[in-house]
Amino acid sequence: MEQAAQEAGGQRIFVARLTVGLAQGLALYLLYYAHDNKSWPATDPNLFAPSLLVFLFVPLLVLQGMGNLRKRTLIVWTVLATAVAAGFAWYDVWHAWPTDLHWANGAQVAVAHVTPSPRVLVFTAVFLFVAHTLISCSEADRRLVPRYATLFDLAWKLGVQLAIAAAFVATFWIILWLGVALFEMIKLHFFKTFIRHSWFAIPVTALATAVAIHITDTRGNLVRGVRTLALMLLGWLLPVIALIAFAFLISLVFTGLKPLWETRTATALLLVASAVLVIHINAAYQDGDPERRPHHALRVAGTLACVMLIFIVTIAAYALWLRVDQYGWTVDRIDTAAVTLVAICFAVGYFIAALLPTPWLKLIEGWNYLTTILGLAILFALFTPLADPVRLSVASQMERLKSGKVKIEAFDFNYLRWEGGRFGRDALTELGKSKDSHVREAALAALKQANRYTIVGSRKASPEETAAAITVYPKGRTLPASFLRQDWKGTDAAGFPCLFGTDRCDAIITDLDGDSVDEVVLVTRLGSGSWAQIGEFKQDGKVWRLIGARYGFVCAGDREALIAGQFKAATPEERDILVGAKRLRVTPPNNTDIPCK
């Protein structure tokens, strides 16, 4: 009788999950259809964006909560999750620049923001996953602060369950496309046409997700087995990552920090390394049960990793501070600062845990819970008016301008236009009333800007300012006076800030085409092994023109070779084709670039 009742209950949950999955799929399809056809509710950003985020994430919480949370808890959590997702999406759309300007049929058309930004999509998913895990743990233990063993068990279970469900859905679509390939071989195209319809693809994906969640939820032994295997593998990788981190820190003693700063990605890479250390430390520690005490080698590696973690996070924080001190706050830097704050909290707790004479790393149990709560609070603040990075970054940039930390010529009006949202618009409107004609003209130009890659706010620099921003090679050569006097505003060369007296460039004067007339090659100074812009300028009468440019990754040593004159002009691999008076440009494929060694 009891087994029959359990089977009947399982069938009811399965039907309920299929119903939720189908409802989610239909809702997402209708939203997609409205957006594609520019019909209601896609014409109302304040409704469309919250609806999209709610139907994308909340049904997944309901699917997992069925059978695991009490009905009252599930209802309350669903309402709260809906409010959070809708609130994040609404505020994201509200604080965005009200409209973007796009070219359509030869005219600029204002297009309203109706979808949440990728940033909000990613961080909302993280917030809801973490919050759902904490609620599930509290529900399982029937207490507000659950036991650490429960936290560990359910967090890893939900993570593995999510990974398996994603793999199931991916495999499902691989099978469908295999069917397409089979039918295509016999010249039957109906199956390909059928599965590519959005009215099929979106609902069936939602249904497959519901099935995957039900299977992984009812096959607890399967999930537990995969989790155990994953923890074992990650745990035994801890000595490897600990050794690498140790060697890295020792190497810094001899190389210094300068190579890190030249990468311009030091903070991000160090934070990723910190996250990897935290994951592997927890994989080795597991739930702290003495019966599953890790091997002595893992304990030594874990202690070493906990000590090194605080040094790695400190270097990451210092790298971020240097960038902020030099260029002020931006949205990306504020997001990075939030992640860094959480990483610092982990690092401090793990460092203390490694030094205490208590059972091995026992302190991290409570510390993980407190840091998780801190992380949720920070995420909530970032996507509400409490600590909106867009508002804070605009305020930072405006303060730098008003205090004189950045010159008017070097001020990034583009940032206010394309990254500052409505706060940037308000700031540009304020600057558009400035008594300084340069500030006023640049701000008004930015307000009307339709191309985010056109530099605005750059007045015509004097020849002396342009010359001061450009280092000329070979040594002893100087830029032609006509080059320095030219007004580059509104030209294709506007991507080189040094032409406006801002930032820095290197210029190589050489005769590339063998006509006995020198050309000028400009290289933006972003350091070795980083992204840079390279342009070739040739004089056409009294005017200099940009005749070719490349923006991409410059390998370490390439810039040094350029300024040393260790290069030559190359004959094009492919010749253009002339058809009558029409020239057909033949461009080699991108894979012709030789990768860095």
pLDDT tens-place values along the chain, 597 residues long: 556 666 666 789 999 999 999 999 999 999 999 999 989 999 898 999 999 999 999 999 999 999 899 999 999 999 999 999 999 999 999 998 876 655 555 455 556 778 899 999 999 999 999 999 999 999 999 999 999 999 999 999 999 999 999 999 999 999 999 999 999 999 999 999 999 999 999 999 999 999 999 999 888 788 888 888 888 999 999 999 999 999 999 999 999 988 888 777 889 999 999 999 999 999 999 988 888 888 899 999 999 999 999 999 999 999 999 989 988 999 999 999 999 999 999 999 999 999 998 889 999 999 999 999 999 999 999 999 999 999 999 999 999 999 988 887 778 888 898 889 999 999 999 999 988 888 888 888 888 776 555 555 555 677 887 888 888 998 889 999 899 888 877 676 766 778 876 667 889 998 887 788 888 988 876 544 456 778 889 888 888 888 877 766 666 667 777 777 777 777 666 667 777 666 666 666 554 455 555
Can you tell me the distance from the alpha carbon of 523 to that of 470, in angstroms, rounded to the nearest whole number?
A: 9
Using alpha carbons, select from 540, 494, 488 the residue that is nearest to residue 519.
540
Cβ(324)–Cβ(333) below 8 Å: yes
Q: Model's pTM, two decimal places?
A: 0.80
What tokens were used for 154? 């359910």
Q: Which long-range contacts (CB under 8 A, 24 or more apart) does 551-557 make?
A: 551/495, 552/593, 553/529, 553/596, 554/523, 554/526, 554/528, 554/529, 554/530, 555/528, 555/529, 555/596, 555/597, 556/528, 556/529, 556/596, 557/528
Alpha carbon 299 to chain centroid distance? 34
Can you tell me the distance from the alpha carbon of 11 to that of 485, in angstroms, rounded to the nearest whole number?
A: 79
Other CB atoms within a 10 A radius of the CB of residue 297 amount to: 12
Alpha carbon 302 to chain centroid distance? 29
Q: What's the chain's length in residues?
A: 597
